[in-house]
Structure 1
Amino acid sequence: MAAATTLGPKRAVEAAEPTSPAPLPTIQIGKHRISRLVAGSNPILGYSYAGQHADRHMKDYYTPERTVEFLQNCERAGITTHQFADPDRALPYLRPLRERGSKMSFICLHSGREKVKDAVERTRPIAMVHHGGATDRLFAAGKASEVHDYVKAAHDCGVLAGVSAHNPDCIKRVADEGWEVDFFMTCFYFLTRKMVHKDAEIPMLDFGLPFFKDDREVMTKVVRQVKQPCFGFKILGSGRHCSNQQTVRAAFKFAFENIKPTDGVIVGMFPWFFDEVSANAQFTRELGKTA
């Protein structure tokens, strides 16, 4: 175990040395042209959706220094944007990343209208996005107006405004009501369905979050119906489509074939044993071409 702990990160960093890869396909959000693949932040924050041991492993791996190296590798691979959550936890790596000359754009995911101005001033993102779990909860509680207020606050601060959700009905409602959102973040799995479907409790051990097989078809149908750009996330099912590189490729293929050409994907990566950055960039280069 000691040898693995020592060699794992080193291999990941060495594997991502710059090789001048071809540019990634790009899409437009507002005035910004960004790569169709966006680097997510769940692994950086220790959210594995695979249990506490995996969570701890991710947290131990992603020190601020290693996170900077990871995002530099992403940028060298052609990924131009990083979506982060929680400014307090992101600043320890965002600051040194910028100090080292990174040109990456940032998308900030969080909730609470009263916190928008502070987050924009501290992290200088191109966009603020209302957190998906909070969106689902507020809609279920009849408080959708709080999400709309967040969108307005983001625009008041001069940045793009997005809404994230796991529940496809939330995305559809925002679009149908004509909110002034610039884009959506759309989870491929309805992980918050218990907020809406309060069925009788089943006497069984907790199995974690519900990754239902057909959820991604439901969400991508909504994605194709809305006019705004969408960023699909959890396209790999938080590791459930990662048994080998063939299944990873198939998941990228499904995503790009079922979203609009103006849409992108957000993918969290954990390059401990394998250069996921280069692999995912290549899948995007190959499968995410736009006309």
Structure 2
Amino acid sequence: MNNQKLKKTIITLLRVAIGWHFLYEGLVKLWASNWSAAGYLANATGPFSGFYHWMAASEGIITIIDPVNIAALLLIGVALFLGIFIRTASVAGFALLTLYYFAYPPFGGSLAGMADGSYYIVNKNFIEAAALLILLFAKERGFGLYALKYFSTAPKTTEATKGEPQENFSSRREALKNLATLPALGIIGWGAFRESKEFGVDTLSGATIQVGGAGINELKGDLPKGKIGKHIISRLVLGGNLIGGWAHSRDLIYVPSLFRAYNTEKKIFETLMLAEKAGIDTINIGFPTIETMSKYRKITGSKIKVITQVHPDMENNDYFVNIDKAIDSGMDIIQVQGNWCDWLVRDKKFEVIEKMMDRIRSQGYTAGLASHTVDALIACEEKGIIPDYYMKTMHHDKYWSAHPRENRVPFEVDGKKHLDHNRFHDNCFCLFPDRTTEFVERAKVPVMGFKVLAAGSIPPENGFEWAFQNGADFICVGMFDFQIVNDVNITIDVLNNLQGRKRKWFG
């Protein structure tokens, strides 16, 4: 094979590959009867996200964008694959890829949409757009139907082009080569159609990917806010189990691994960005994940407030080491971790809690005190240890896996997991709901309820309402990305229609 034929073959393969990609993206969107670009546009990130959000917010614009997008993908794909109107298709394909690229750009704080790995500036859209520029400006167009008289736009030979290699379409062999893309398209297209019938539409195709849940354009309004110390924060706070990977899945041993496999660092960052767009401006995290939040805020420039849980180093009698690390890491609010509060009260070490609270406040920080067992907070109250806010597990026990009240023991949360279904097994976190609500009713500082869904046992509509109705000023909820908008909307609905709350709002 001479150099000219090799060059022609390579250009053909490049053109056909890009053409099939465009065509396939168009076909799967066409075959998916309910496909819409709305979710893709509504969740766009990066410096130009406002433009995409504006398009997603208008039903009129979406009704135009959806069919135009599908038609463009199909026409560009067919043209490139078969080799007709190649330069027009290259320009149109470059423009479309540019729009895709800037919807989820791999720079400027946007980490979403990077399904193929971690990179900066360059992604598959960038590379494919660059390849289309090559096709646009290359003199060689490869084999294709453009060689036929109907599609041919080959210039006539002039004095200036004498001596340059000219296309020769006169031979039957050459004509067959240029027609080869036509049966190839039929074979590949038929294969794709059969596979779609057998396995369904490819949900991983480009902007087709959608995980269940509402899009950002479906928000019902602004998330209400309240005040903790000097901080004004959303009444719905993102739970730190998203980052830490604590699933509280009872005896379903595979769930923690599945949880962590889904919530990669990329997915965590995507979820955090979506939460901020939805109005959730605060997250409560475990101490080990400070580094992840610091990285997120540094990369994205996020202003999300971080509540950090801290615990003492009892082995070295250093009660302040983690408090100081949290401050050095730029965290915003610091609270004594719930299980440690329980353990310290259980072991009568009230002085440790008191010293930690004093240390947090002396550094100018809002000091929180968390607990799973209400007995711990009651005992601290009796000792005169009152935080700037409480964080307490708040859920009812009207769900199947809750063990009988008569078998519940104070401080058993985070303790031994019993095989007896009538005993604790990572299944109940607010052991005594009635006593909890009594304590919250008389609390004179803001209260943040957490585990309000009993780690997924209670529907959010019910769990959110119960917590707010029984005195919570804020709720902290662990959420996957596809739950964010729905949970924000539920919070808005619950707060707008809340009845029966006796405690006045603090914060």
Please, what TM-score do these two structures have when normalized by structure 2?
A: 0.49
- 1:268 equivalent in structure 2: 478
Q: Does 1:139 align with 2:356?
A: no
**Greater Rg by CA:** 2
Offset at residue 177 of structure 1 (A): 3.2
Distance 1:169 1:283, change over 3 A: same
- 1:258 equivalent in structure 2: 470
Q: Does 1:102 align with 2:319?
A: no
Distance 1:15 1:196, change over 3 A: closer
1:182 to 380, 388, 395: 388
Q: Superposed, which structure 2 residues align to 1:163-242 within 5 Å?
A: 163-188=369-394, 193=409, 195=411, 204=420, 208-211=425-428, 215-241=432-458
CA contact (8 A) 1:21 1:78 kept: no
**Could you give the per-residue CA deviations for residues 91-124 of structure 1, whole angstroms, max 9, x where no partner exists?**
23432334323221110012112221112111x2
CA contact (8 A) 2:296 2:302 kept: no
SS of 1:255's partner is helix
2:241 to 39, 42, 59: 42
Amino acid at match of 1:80: D
- 1:23 equivalent in structure 2: 222
User: Which shows bigger deviation, 202-211 or 146-155?
Assistant: 202-211
- 1:90 equivalent in structure 2: 290
CA contact (8 A) 2:372 2:429 kept: no
Structure with more contact order per residue of length (Cα contacts < 8 Å, sep ≥ 6): 1
Offset at residue 181 of structure 1 (A): 1.3
SS of 2:487's partner is helix
Identical aligned pairs, as a percentage?
A: 24
- 2:262 equivalent in structure 1: 61
2:486 to 274, 279, 287: 279
1:72 to 232, 257, 273: 273
Distance 1:33 1:203, change over 3 A: closer
How many residues align structurally?
Answer: 273
Measure, in 1, the Cα distance between the counterparts of 2:203 and 2:436. Answer: 38
Measure, in 2, the Cα distance between the counterparts of 1:204 and 1:85. Answer: 30
- 2:12 equivalent in structure 1: none
Offset at residue 185 of structure 1 (A): 0.6
CA contact (8 A) 2:429 2:451 kept: no
CA contact (8 A) 1:186 1:232 kept: yes
SS of 1:238's partner is coil
Measure, in 1, the Cα distance between the counterparts of 2:418 and 2:389. Answer: 37
CA contact (8 A) 2:394 2:436 kept: yes
Measure, in 2, the Cα distance between the counterparts of 1:203 and 1:267. Answer: 28
CA contact (8 A) 2:237 2:282 kept: yes
Offset at residue 174 of structure 1 (A): 2.5
Offset at residue 81 of structure 1 (A): 0.4
Measure, in 2, the Cα distance between the counterparts of 1:180 and 1:77. Answer: 33
Amino acid at match of 1:95: K
Measure, in 1, the Cα distance between the counterparts of 2:486 and 2:257. Answer: 24
1:117 to 309, 324, 332: 324
Offset at residue 234 of structure 1 (A): 0.5
CA contact (8 A) 1:36 1:288 kept: no
Offset at residue 45 of structure 1 (A): 1.4
Offset at residue 4 of structure 1 (A): 11
CA contact (8 A) 2:220 2:492 kept: no
Offset at residue 255 of structure 1 (A): 1.1
CA contact (8 A) 1:188 1:215 kept: no
Amino acid at match of 2:210: R
User: Structure 2 unaligned runs (5+)?
Assistant: 1-200, 313-319, 403-407, 499-504
SS of 1:239's partner is coil
Amino acid at match of 2:488: A
**Could you give the per-residue CA deviations for residues 242-261 of structure 1, whole angstroms, max 9, x where no partner exists?**
xxxxx32011111111115x
Amino acid at match of 1:255: A
CA contact (8 A) 1:68 1:93 kept: no
Distance 1:145 1:76, change over 3 A: same
- 1:244 equivalent in structure 2: none
CA contact (8 A) 1:231 1:265 kept: yes
1:156 to 362, 366, 372: 362
Measure, in 2, the Cα distance between the counterparts of 1:44 and 1:18. Answer: 25
Measure, in 2, the Cα distance between the counterparts of 1:236 and 1:279. Answer: 14
**Could you give the per-residue CA deviations for residues 189-234 of structure 1, whole angstroms, max 9, x where no partner exists?**
699946479xxx9884786224278733321221111101011000
Measure, in 1, the Cα distance between the counterparts of 2:377 and 2:327. Answer: 24
Offset at residue 6 of structure 1 (A): 6.2
